Structures are given as C-alpha cells and as structure tokens.
C-alpha cells in the first residue's frame, strides 16, 4: 500500500473545468448557512457568497439546487448566515459534507435558536436573513439565492476569519 498526497478521485488537472479552477484561485469567505423548518434543521458551508451594503443589505450566495439547505430554506424563508473563523474548520468540513460528523453536523457544537434559524454558539458574527425570491435564477450549476439582512451580530475581530482558496483553508 502506498500513501501519497494526491486526492485519489480527482481527475488530472488537464481534465478539470478551467472555470472551476479560475474560481478556486479567488480567496472566498467561509460561511455557514443554517435554517430550520418543521422541527428539522439544515445547513451548508457556502464560500460562493457576497454581502451587498444598502438599506436593506443583502447576502447573495450560490447554492446547490439539490442541497438539503435549499429545500428547507425554500420552505422556511429565513436563514442564519454565520462567518466562520479559524477554530471552525472541522465544522466547515462537516457542513460541506467532506468530513465525517457522527450523528450529523448539528451535534458537533451547541446552537442558539433565533427568529431566522439556528446560530452556532461560539461563532460571534452572523446575520439573520429573509429569503427574497422563492424561485431564484440558475447561474451555472447553482441557484443565485438572495437573502435580505434583517439582523446583524458583529463579534470581535480577535478570531481570524476562515478563507477558502484552491481547496484549502487559510486565515487572514
């Protein structure tokens, strides 16, 4: 048996999408989008997002149309968008479905129920949001979901923000 550093299921670089490779070179914030509906919770790590300032402000993100998050967000019409920091890499991987989370990722940490959905305890910067368009446009292979920001919690800047670039986490 040989152990090597390459991912065993990735196609050779020459066969990968050049658009995806271009996107991967952009440093992106690591956010955790969570919602709840009918006593159930759903969440997803989202790095393809931006925040538009204004009155009101908006969070715009690209979501997988087949994700549990989108299915539940479409019903709930509200979500919490949390900005993850350096200590939250395992949480980001669990909600990104690239790392194991026995019992599900919501069992990894404690949560506070808010008017917009579950907010992770220990993540001090988050926004409570409302879904703007129930049928968002498709952009590439994703849905361009727009959330109106209704509430903002700003924590201290003591925790370096988690950033995703070329398939790896880093901090600023």
pLDDT score for 171? 85
Higher per-residue pLDDT: 28 or 80? 80
Q: Does the pLDDT at position 153 exceed 80?
A: yes
* Cβ 45 vs Cβ 96: under 8 Å: yes
pLDDT score for 3? 55
Please state, in angstroms and rounded to a whole number, the distance separating the CA atoms of residues 46 and 61: 7
The position carrying tokens 């990104």 is 96
pLDDT score for 151? 98
- From residue 91, alpha-carbon distances to 1, 44, 67, 135 in Å are 31, 10, 17, 29
pLDDT score for 6? 59
């Amino acid at each position: 048996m040989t152990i090597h550093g390459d991912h065993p299921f990735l196609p050779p670089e020459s066969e990968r999408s050049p658009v995806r490779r271009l996107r991967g070179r952009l440093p992106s914030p690591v956010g955790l989008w969570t919602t709840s509906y009918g006593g159930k919770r759903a969440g997803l790590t989202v790095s393809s997002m931006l925040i538009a300032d204004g009155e009101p402000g908006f969070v715009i993100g690209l979501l997988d149309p087949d994700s549990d998050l989108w299915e539940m967000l479409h019903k709930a019409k509200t979500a919490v968008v949390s900005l993850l920091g350096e200590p939250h890499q395992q949480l980001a991987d669990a909600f990104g479905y690239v790392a194991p989370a026995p019992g599900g990722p919501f069992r990894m940490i404690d949560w506070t129920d808010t008017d917009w959905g579950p907010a992770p305890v220990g993540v001090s910067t988050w926004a409570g949001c409302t879904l703007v368009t129930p049928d968002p446009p498709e952009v590439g292979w994703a849905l361009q979901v727009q959330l109106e920001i209704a509430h903002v919690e700003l924590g201290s800047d003591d925790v370096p923000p988690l950033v995703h670039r070329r398939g790896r986490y880093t901090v600023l």
